[in-house]
């Protein structure tokens, strides 16, 4: 994919420097110095390319593309739909998004067009066509970078009408079916005509949860539909150039990326972890790793692109601290370790004005290579060249955590439990951490993915449980798998209707050998002791489900309150496999001990053994070789014992040395 080397570069906005020819020239020198081979260009260039309606001027972009090609650098050429020229907003207000209060916004900012607007679709198709035609044979063109961080929902009449059409199809034109699915009799919300359906809004309906779920599904659908229309013309003209859309998870939770992933050629991700924030670097590394592990699994292990990251600071945090020395290298290699085939930065050069002028960049306002950031970026550029044999390598994992975008939607909109702070993502991260800090490879998959290739399957707060998912969980266990499920899982179906007959839903009661009578929610700061069979005590917080054994055995019980002595951790033999249920939220150490024991019991091995605290590992395999990345997320030097050859890093006797925030790469024959 895209050559034999790791891709390295970033967002490049020469449009901003048209009046500074010496800077445009200097950019080329500096890119080569840093080892760049792919730059994203044109992301916000529409106003430059089409200064008046129908008047196109590609001369500047021509010069940029030519200069890149001359210097042996590829272009991820963007379609410019992420921001429009002002003339378009003025002449065609329909391209402007309508917000959730049903107000049409005015021109400005970015990422805020209507996805349904025929005008916007036609204008986008036209500029895309011209770009594709002009550069189809250009040697710099490597990748289509379609739009930027697709984001948000429009509430205009056209979008509403499209939503109603989408619903008609989804519910077979049967309003009764929709009314039942949304339980709309509640508060007399029954619809008697399709035209009565409006999107959820603080100005109107916001109490029909099935509507909210379907509205988010529609938003995903419509965004993909817009993407496909953007891509259609590109594929006609440049069938061999891959196309992708860079996603920014934090900004756009309305999108179901699993769904979207089916339509892009390559997964591309923008990732901005809050390094050096009070959460602590290991916890932050864990979140980043979780996300990379998820990215890798969208397309069954296919390597993805880290499409944006910062070489130093960002500009929107409470405190925009700098990456410590070493971190630019290690955070880049972390993405590679988990399956990325690129490290791309936002941004190549700091802009002089505007709201991102203080966002980290490879090249500072100062303008030279004489900065710590530039030196570290260039160092990483060098390492990526040295490590190029790893490119396209895959990852093997016995463990899968299931992450479900739709459960996140359902829980974030939920009244009940600890309204509205259910911490779905945090819980998934917490179940990832015990494996991560021990250096296990972990897959983060979606409910629809194949479970059968794993040995250990983890279902944290899998609130939405479709019948077919439950069947596959049962089958997985029956055939010898080990499954772990938690509180608040399997309560509702895909339109947020509670399962009748008790939780967990249906057959899962047999799989886990329990039923869950009720769930207690605790205030922040309340700690509930739970006692293991051997007398060890851990702390629970937030949630305590009152469980009844129906075949399972209790591994731990609550140790206070009216449910003292009742089971909170259970184990059930089911077929050839085993099903664990955790009825409470871990306050701190329980999950670590539990999963530590479980992997030992199951004999699942990490990518590297004997890691010191704060050092993690991940590996990729290719052609019989396993490449092990050891990453030090502490400010101290660390040592890891190993006899494997060291591909990157400093060996010292029987060990490899990891400088503060440093990374080493080992190589061994793959045993799997």
Among 206, 423, 550, 634, binds a second copy (CB under 8 A): 206
Order the strands of the 655-658 sheet from edge to edge.
638-641, 655-658, 650-652
Contact pattern for a second copy over residues 501 through 520, marking x by CB under 8 A: xxx-----------x-xxxx
Residues 294-353 that bind a second copy (CB under 8 A): 312-313, 315-322, 324-325, 350-353
Contact, 478 vs 574, CB < 8 A? yes
> Which residues is 548 bridged to in the sheet?
515
Smallest distance from the beta carbon of 424 to a second copy, in angstroms? Answer: 15
H-state helical runs in 389-457: 405-412, 424-436
Smallest distance from the beta carbon of 46 to a second copy, in angstroms? Answer: 5
Among 182, 247, 451, 512, binds a second copy (CB under 8 A): 182
- Per-residue HEC secondary structure of 92-113 comes to CHHHECECCCCCECCCCCCCCE
C-alpha separations of 264 from 62, 140, 228, 243, 291 in Å = 27, 21, 9, 6, 18
Residues 604-623 that bind a second copy (CB under 8 A): none
Smallest distance from the beta carbon of 135 to a second copy, in angstroms? Answer: 19
Contacts of 488-492 with CB under 8 Å at 24 or more apart are 488/411, 488/417, 488/422, 488/461, 488/463, 488/519, 488/543, 489/459, 489/460, 489/461, 489/462, 489/463, 489/465, 490/462, 490/463, 490/465, 491/463, 491/465, 492/410, 492/463, 492/464, 492/465
Q: Taking CB under 8 A as the rule, does residue 624 contact a second copy?
A: no
Q: Taking CB under 8 A as the rule, does residue 183 contact a second copy?
A: yes
104 or 396: CB nearest a second copy: 104
Using DSSP's 3-state secondary structure scheme, residue 620 falls into strand
142 or 276: CB nearest a second copy: 276
- Other beta carbons less than 10 A from residue 169's beta carbon: 9
Residues 264-293 that bind a second copy (CB under 8 A): 277-278
- Other beta carbons less than 10 A from residue 33's beta carbon: 14
Q: Residues 153, 155, 157, 163: what is their CA dihedral angle, to the nearest 10 degrees?
A: 60
Residues 211-230 that bind a second copy (CB under 8 A): none
Among 228, 498, 537, 564, binds a second copy (CB under 8 A): 498
- Residue range at the interface with a second copy (CB under 8 A); choices 113-121, 294-302, 363-371, 606-614: 363-371
Smallest distance from the beta carbon of 297 to a second copy, in angstroms? Answer: 31
Q: How many residues bind a second copy (CB under 8 A)?
A: 112
Q: Taking CB under 8 A as the rule, does residue 27 contact a second copy?
A: no
Q: Taking CB under 8 A as the rule, does residue 196 contact a second copy?
A: yes
d(CA 29, CA 23): 10
Number of helices and strands in the chain (H, E): 17, 27
Among 26, 170, 190, 646, binds a second copy (CB under 8 A): 190
- Residue range at the interface with a second copy (CB under 8 A); choices 215-223, 365-373, 428-436, 637-645: 365-373
191 or 263: CB nearest a second copy: 191
Among 225, 356, 426, 670, binds a second copy (CB under 8 A): 356
270 or 626: CB nearest a second copy: 270
The DSSP 8-state label assigned to residue 399 in this structure reads E
Smallest distance from the beta carbon of 293 to a second copy, in angstroms? Answer: 28
d(CA 595, CA 574): 19
Residues 76-115 that bind a second copy (CB under 8 A): 80, 83-87, 90, 102-103, 105-110
**Nearby residues of 23 by Cβ (< 8 Å), 6 or more positions away:** 17, 349, 367
Contact, 541 vs 587, CB < 8 A? yes
- Residue range at the interface with a second copy (CB under 8 A); choices 15-23, 158-166, 296-304, 478-486: 15-23
163 or 503: CB nearest a second copy: 503
Counting beta carbons within 10 angstroms of the beta carbon of residue 209, is it exposed (0 to 12), middle (13 to 18) or buried (19 or more)? buried
Contact, 125 vs 229, CB < 8 A? yes
Give the active site residue among 308, 369, 545, 626.
308
Among 35, 210, 273, 577, binds a second copy (CB under 8 A): 210
Q: Taking CB under 8 A as the rule, does residue 161 contact a second copy?
A: no
Smallest distance from the beta carbon of 517 to a second copy, in angstroms? Answer: 6
Q: H or E stretch including 114?
A: none
Residues 67-84 as b/e (b if ≥16 CB within 10 A, e otherwise) read bbeebebbbbbbbbbbbb
Smallest distance from the beta carbon of 350 to a second copy, in angstroms? Answer: 7
266 or 540: CB nearest a second copy: 540
Residues 386-425 that bind a second copy (CB under 8 A): 414-419, 421
Q: What angle, 0 to 180 degrees and rounded to 10, lies between the N-to-C axes of helices 118-135 and 209-237?
A: 30
Q: Tally the C-alpha atoms within 13 A of residue 488's C-alpha that lie toward its C-beta.
A: 25
268 or 327: CB nearest a second copy: 327
Give the active site residue among 94, 149, 254, 259.
149
Residues 476-495 that bind a second copy (CB under 8 A): 495
Contact pattern for a second copy over residues 29 through 58, marking x by CB under 8 A: ---------------xxxxx--xx------
- Residue range at the interface with a second copy (CB under 8 A); choices 243-251, 468-476, 499-507, 550-558: 499-507
- Catalytic-residue membership of 308: yes
Smallest distance from the beta carbon of 307 to a second copy, in angstroms? Answer: 18
- Residue range at the interface with a second copy (CB under 8 A); choices 203-211, 293-301, 460-468, 619-627: 203-211
- Residue range at the interface with a second copy (CB under 8 A); choices 208-216, 298-306, 383-391, 447-455: 208-216
Residues 525-564 that bind a second copy (CB under 8 A): 542, 546, 561-562
Beta strands in 612-654 (DSSP E): 615-622, 625-632, 638-641, 646-648, 650-652
Among 119, 497, 554, 602, binds a second copy (CB under 8 A): 497
- Catalytic-residue membership of 50: no
d(CA 534, CA 383): 49
Using DSSP's 3-state secondary structure scheme, residue 558 falls into strand
> Which residues is 584 bridged to in the sheet?
544
Q: Find, among 67, 12, 39, 42, the residue nearest to 127 by Cα.
A: 42
Question: Active-site residue numbers?
Answer: 149, 308
């Amino acid at each position: 994919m895209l050559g034999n080397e790791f891709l390295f570069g970033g967002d490049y906005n020469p449009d901003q420097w048209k009046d500074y020819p010496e800077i445009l020239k200097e950019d080329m020198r500096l890119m080569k110095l840093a080892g760049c081979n792919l730059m994203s260009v044109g992301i916000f260039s529409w106003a430059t390319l089409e200064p008046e309606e129908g008047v196109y001027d590609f001369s500047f972009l021509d010069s940029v593309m030519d200069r890149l090609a001359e210097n042996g650098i590829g272009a991820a050429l963007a379609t410019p739909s992420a921001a429009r020229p002002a003339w378009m907003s003025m002449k065609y207000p329909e391209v402007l998004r309508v917000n959730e209060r049903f107000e049409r916004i005015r021109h400005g900012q970015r990422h805020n067009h209507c996805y349904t607007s025929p005008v916007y679709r036609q204008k986008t198709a036209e500029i895309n066509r011209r770009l594709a035609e002009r550069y189809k044979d250009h040697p710099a063109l490597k990748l289509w970078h379609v739009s930027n961080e697709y984001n948000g929902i429009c509430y205009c009449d056209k979008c509403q009408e499209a939503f109603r059409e989408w619903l008609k199809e989804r519910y077979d034109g049967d309003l009764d079916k929709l009314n039942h699915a949304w339980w709309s009799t509640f508060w007399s919300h029954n619809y008697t005509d399709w035209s009565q359906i409006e999107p959820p809004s603080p100005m109107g309906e916001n109490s029909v949860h099935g509507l909210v779920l379907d509205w988010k599904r529609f938003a995903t659908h419509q965004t993909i539909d817009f993407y496909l229309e953007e891509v259609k013309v590109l594929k006609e003209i440049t069938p061999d150039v891959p196309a992708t859309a860079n996603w920014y998870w934090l900004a756009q939770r309305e999108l179901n990326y699993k769904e979207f992933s089916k339509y892009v050629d390559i997964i591309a991700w923008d990732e901005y972890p809050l390094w050096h924030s009070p959460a602590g670097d290991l916890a932050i590394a864990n979140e980043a790793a979780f996300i990379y592990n998820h990215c890798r699994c969208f397309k069954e292990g296919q390597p993805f692109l880290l499409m944006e990251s910062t070489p130093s600071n960002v500009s929107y945090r409470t405190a925009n601290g700098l990456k410590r020395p070493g971190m630019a290298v290690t955070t880049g290699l972390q993405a590679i370790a988990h399956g990325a085939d690129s490290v791309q930065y936002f941004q190549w050069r700091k802009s002089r004005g505007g709201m991102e002028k203080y966002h980290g960049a490879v090249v500072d306002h100062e303008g030279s290579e004489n900065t710590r950031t530039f030196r570290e970026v260039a160092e990483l550029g060098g390492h990526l060249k040295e490590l190029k044999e790893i490119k396209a390598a895959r990852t093997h994992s016995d463990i899968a955590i299931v992450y479900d975008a739709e459960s996140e939607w359902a829980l974030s909109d939920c009244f009940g439990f600890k309204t509205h702070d259910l911490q779905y993502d945090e819980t998934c991260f917490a179940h990832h951490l015990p494996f991560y800090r021990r250096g296990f490879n972990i897959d983060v998959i979606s409910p629809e993915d194949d479970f059968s290739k794993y040995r250990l399957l983890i279902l944290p707060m899998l609130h939405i449980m479709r019948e077919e998912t439950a069947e596959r969980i049962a089958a997985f266990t029956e055939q010898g798998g080990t499954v772990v499920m938690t509180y608040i899982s399997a309560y509702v179906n895909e339109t947020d209707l509670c399962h009748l007959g008790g939780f967990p839903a249906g057959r899962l009661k047999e799989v886990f050998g329990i039923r869950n009578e009720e769930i207690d929610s605790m205030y922040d700061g309340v700690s509930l002791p739970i006692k293991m069979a051997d007398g060890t005590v851990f702390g629970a917080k937030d949630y305590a489900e009152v469980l009844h054994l129906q075949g399972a055995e209790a591994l731990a019980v609550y140790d206070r309150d009216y449910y003292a002595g009742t089971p909170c951790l259970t184990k059930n033999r089911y077929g050839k496999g085993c099903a664990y249920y955790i009825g409470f939220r871990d306050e701190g150490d329980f999950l670590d001990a539990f999963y530590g024991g479980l992997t030992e019991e199951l004999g699942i091995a990490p990518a590297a053994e004997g890691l010191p605290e704060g050092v993690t590992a991940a590996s990729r395999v290719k052609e019989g070789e396993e490449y092990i990345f050891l990453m030090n997320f502490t400010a101290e030097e660390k040592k890891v014992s190993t006899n494997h050859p060291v591909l990157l890093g400093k060996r010292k006797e029987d060990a490899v040395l990891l400088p503060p925030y440093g990374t080493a790469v080992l190589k061994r024959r793959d045993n799997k």
